[in-house]
Structure formats: structure tokens, C-alpha cells
Amino acid sequence: MENFDITDNGFAEFDLDRRIVNLLDDRDITEPTDIQYEVIPKILNGEDVIAQSKTGTGKTIAYIAPLASRILNCGKVLIITPTKELARQVYEECLYFTEDIGIDTELLVSGESVEKVAGKINTDYDIIVGVPGRILKLVDMGVLKLGEVKKIVVDEIDFLIDMGFKKDLLRIFELTKNHDQVMIFSATLSAETKKMLNLAVNQKFAARVDVQNTLPETITNYLIPMKSPNSDEKEYKRDDILLTILDNINPYLCIIFVRTKKEAAWLYSLLKERGFSVSHLSGDLKSTQRKRQLEQFRNAKVQYLVSTDLASRGIDVEGINYIINYNLPVGELDYLHRAGRTGRAGEDGAVYSICNELDEGYLRKYAMSLGFDILSLKIRKGKLIEDKAYEGVKARLSLGEKAKLTKIQHSEKKAADRVKAHEEWRDNRRKRRPNPNRQTQSGRPSRNNKPPKK
């Protein structure tokens, strides 16, 4: 590709096309994140990559920027995502970087007629972004040929496996057996996913980029118990606590997470009746409805989005500064994904979790595993105030205290290793059998070879 002048940008140190760097600079993206520092050079070098990094760290740009810089010389690219929403998001990101430099990018999700899609896809495509079901349907109909695909990207692979797409992924890898590079991205990598990767990727030559699952320190995590530890006080209902939270915050954008599709529809109706600017997202909605609801939220036409965990993976919307867990998620990684919708790119964020007594135990577990502190709040006259006396779900150690403890434990281990080494040396010395001909009557070794005096 032709090169142009660029401004002073941290991405310029990579061997990226300068027009890509200029486009990053236009969006004030000037300093690569840790995952981008690790991954971009490897992709540019043609290495397979298995990258695990916490949410909000720029995984999408980590693969789009180098691929867009090399694509005219590297062959066709297939990007696989778990949901239509994430596929559209990745597609729009691809268009931003490729539309003006002669790269043809196509989106494959349900919602368009096969005839219309067939008219777009031809042997001249450069990048395809899609979901497994739609990709394979077009393959089976003879509309899409994958034999020329050289680069494969799987985004949020754990979510794909959880949704039951393992067989579809393996089939896609078989159809693209002429590929020369695979890039796997996810915030988490489960044991099941790792088994699947053993079948699909030659991990012997894959560069692994693993980052421990932790929440950014810019996110504050709050607990609002449904019942105070003081048994004389009443137990609040979830919807009453939710309305109190909403009365005490004024977010730019806020996602309220629920567990079921029925809860999403019910809570959406409740908030709508109360006059809140709200939309909702769940699997019960048609593809066009989900797209419209998400676009309203992304464009800040509504302030609140009620959603199942459908919105917790891969959906990147700027300006989300509050997350509310109407129900606590059933796993720590789900908490990680939900909370990761806020506090992105170094911005501040807050997560409020409404908990009964059982939820509190799980929240403690999540806090210790993901390394975050919990602030407990109580309701007083319609206000949320910190309950400093409440210790039911406080992380045992703050992040700073955990770092100090790790340092102390490391020092203690080194000291213990020195003591153990000394004891082994002493035991080995004691085990040596002295020569009777060289002992004195006292049993001590003689300083010469003369026999002891009688």
C-alpha cells in the first residue's frame, strides 16, 4: 500500500500501513494497549495467535489494523463472531479502516435475502465478517466458497463454544484447510475451548498471549443487599432497589442486566411506564428489532438498556458509565463480561449488584477471583449511602494488600528455600561415614593420618 505522512502516534512503531495509523490518529487512538503491543507484531509476521485478554482492551483493533495493512498481499480473511450484533460491530470497524483503501468487506448475518447476499459475494471479496450459521448456510447453497481463505479470525471463541457452535467451527476450519494463519481472541478461555483448539489449531506454533482475568481498577463495584444484616429492618424488593439506584444516578448510558428474556421484557415495560428513556435486548426479539434497539442505545437516543447476557460479550458502546446487575450472573466470567461493558479504555465506571443472601456469597467469590474490592451501600430515606460497618461481602484483601501479601509470600518462600538447602547440606554431611582409622577416642576426625594413641 502507498504510504502518507503521519502524526506522532504510538502505532507508528509497528510496520502498519500509514493510512491505518492516520485513521487511528483521527479517532485519538494514539497509544497501543498491552494486547495490541503483543499481538500486532505477531499478526504482521504471519504467526498464529491465541490471545486472551480482559474486556475493553482493544482486541478488535489488535487484529483489524494489521490485517488491513497486509490484506492486499496476504489473501482473503474470514472473521467469525458469535452474535449478529458483534458481527455488525466488527464489520463497521472493518469498514472504517478499509473502505477508502480498496478493500472489499462483506457482512454475513441473517436479515438479508440470499439472492441479495449472493450478488455481493464474489471471488473479489477481501474480508468476510459473519456468524457460523449464516456462513455455512451460504456454503451449502453454493453461494460462498471458502477455499481461498488464508486468514481466519475467531472473536469471542468462548461464547461461540457456549452457544453450541463447536461443530460448526470445526467444519469451517476443515473448509478453510488451505489457511496459513489463525487468530483466536477471547476474554476467557475455558477448558472446553482449549480442547477444541487442540483439534483446530497447531498450538505448537501458536503465540499465546495470556492476561489474567481481572477487572480494571477504574471500575467501582457496589453491593446493595436486599436485606440489612440488622434483622429488624425490612427486606427490599429488587425492583424497589433498582428504582432507588436510578433515582440516585444520572448516567450517560447504563445497561441493566437480567437473567431471563421474560425478566427483560417485564422490566423494560416497568421502566417505560415510569417514564425512563429505555430500550431492551433479548433473544426473543427479531434480528431487525435487536439491531434497532441497540442502535438507539449506541446513539444515545435512549439512556438505559435492559438486557440479558446477550449484551455482555463483545458489544462495544462508548459512554457506558453504569452497569446494574438486577440479578447477579451465575458465574464469575459472566460478571467479568458484564462489568467489562463499562470502564473501557481507562474511563471510570461503576457496577451495582442487587443481592440476596445467597448472591452475597457468590459476589465474595467473584471479588476474590477477579481481584476487585466491594463497597456495600444501604438505603436511607431514598438515598444510597456507604455502609462502612457492613462486612458481609468485603473482599478479604484490597488490590494493594494483595500485592503486598504476594511480595511477603515471595520473600518467605525464598527464606524457606534457603533454610531447606542448609538443612539438606547438614543432613548430607551427617550421613557421611567417617573412617575408623582416622578417628580419635572422642570420635572427632583426626587432623592427621596417625592412628589414635592408646
Q: What is the pLDDT of residue 390?
A: 62
Would strands 149-155 and 76-80 be described as parallel, antiparallel, or unpaired? parallel
Report angle CA 101, 37, 80 to the nearest 5 degrees.
Answer: 60
Residue 155: which of 87, 66, 67 has the closest Cα?
Answer: 87
Q: What is the pLDDT of residue 317?
A: 84
Model confidence, pTM = 0.60
Location of C-alpha cell 495493512: 69
The total of other beta-carbon atoms located within 10 Å of residue 34's CB is 14
Report angle CA 90, 91, 94 to the nearest 5 degrees.
Answer: 85
Q: What is the pLDDT of residue 212?
A: 60
Q: What is the pLDDT of residue 115?
A: 73
Q: What is the pLDDT of residue 399?
A: 46
d(CA 135, CA 78): 10
Q: What is the pLDDT of residue 309?
A: 84
Q: What is the pLDDT of residue 132?
A: 94
Per-residue cell: 159: 461464547
Q: What is the pLDDT along the chain (454 residues), one digit of tens a residue?
A: 444 444 467 888 888 988 999 999 888 888 888 788 889 999 999 888 888 876 667 888 999 999 998 876 778 899 999 888 889 889 999 999 988 888 888 899 887 777 777 777 755 788 999 999 999 999 998 888 888 899 999 998 888 888 889 899 999 999 998 898 999 988 777 778 877 877 766 655 555 665 566 777 889 999 999 876 555 566 788 999 999 999 999 899 999 999 888 899 999 999 999 999 999 988 778 878 888 888 899 899 999 999 988 777 767 788 999 999 999 988 787 898 899 889 877 788 999 999 988 888 889 888 887 888 888 898 888 899 888 776 644 444 444 554 555 556 566 666 666 777 767 777 666 655 555 554 444 444 444 444 444 4
Q: What is the pLDDT of residue 393?
A: 45
Question: Within 13 Å of residue 423, how many CA atoms lie on the same side as its CB?
Answer: 6
Domains and CATH numbers, the chain: 10-210 (3.40.50.300), 219-400 (3.40.50.300)
Report angle CA 208, 332, 210 to the nearest 5 degrees.
Answer: 10
Q: What is the pLDDT of residue 3?
A: 45
Location of C-alpha cell 583426626: 446
Tell me if 209 sits within 8 A of 51, measured CB to CB: yes
Question: Within 13 Å of residue 78, how many CA atoms lie on the same side as its CB?
Answer: 26
What is the enclosing helix (H) or strand (E) of 191?
helix 191-200
Residue count (the chain): 454
Per-residue cell: 143: 453461494
CB under 8 A, 24+ apart: contacts of 33-40: 33/57, 33/58, 33/62, 34/211, 35/59, 35/62, 35/209, 35/211, 36/11, 36/61, 36/62, 36/65, 38/209, 39/63, 39/66, 39/183, 39/209, 40/11, 40/14, 40/16, 40/65, 40/66
Q: If you ran DSSP here, which 8-state letter would residue 439 be given?
A: B
d(CA 79, CA 129): 5
Q: What is the pLDDT of residue 448?
A: 47
The total of other beta-carbon atoms located within 10 Å of residue 29's CB is 19
d(CA 375, CA 272): 30
Residue 19: which of 33, 5, 8, 37 has the closest Cα?
Answer: 5
d(CA 152, CA 170): 12
d(CA 346, CA 56): 9
Q: Is 209 helix (H, G, I), strand (E, B) or coil?
A: strand
